[in-house]
Amino acid sequence: MIAMLLQDLLEEAGATSFAFAATEQDAVALAVEHPPRVITSDIQLLEGTGPRAVAEIKSRLGGIPTVFITANPDACDQCRSPDALLTKPINSDQAVRAFEAAISHG
């Protein structure tokens, strides 16, 4: 549900393509196959974590602006310099601003 909401919000902000992954391994594989301009990642995935997936993606593809999303911001100790950290429930305006800022830095 959150991914679909986020997709709707980011489409309105100008995003044109999306890939969704439920696991760390799938996130890395999708990013390598279709390199993203911006990464949005939950902290906890069904298997693995968002921060580990993002670290692996960046080690393979270089610096990509990243927006982490979590219900527990204290759990983001493992996030490495996110461009933004959004707390669930997601505030629509904050999500759009974070995406727009990430795009402008990417």
User: Low-confidence residues of the chain, pLDDT below 70?
Assistant: 1, 78, 80-82, 106
- Do residues 96 and 90 touch, judged by C-beta distance below 8 A? no
**Superfamily of the domain at 2-105:** Response regulator (3.40.50.2300)
Question: H or E element: which one contains 86?
Answer: strand 84-87
Q: What is the pLDDT of residue 102?
A: 85
How many C-beta atoms surround the C-beta of residue 65 within 10 A? 20
Q: pLDDT tens digits for 45-62?
A: 999 999 999 999 999 999
Q: Residue 88 corresponds to which amino acid?
A: K
The residue type at 21: A
What is residue 15's predicted lDDT score, i.e. its pLDDT?
87
Q: pTM of the full predicted structure?
A: 0.85
Among residues 91, 79, 97, the alpha carbon closest in space to that of 41 is found at 79
Structure tokens at 100: 């727009």
Q: So what's the pLDDT on residue 6?
A: 86
At residue 21, the pLDDT reads: 94
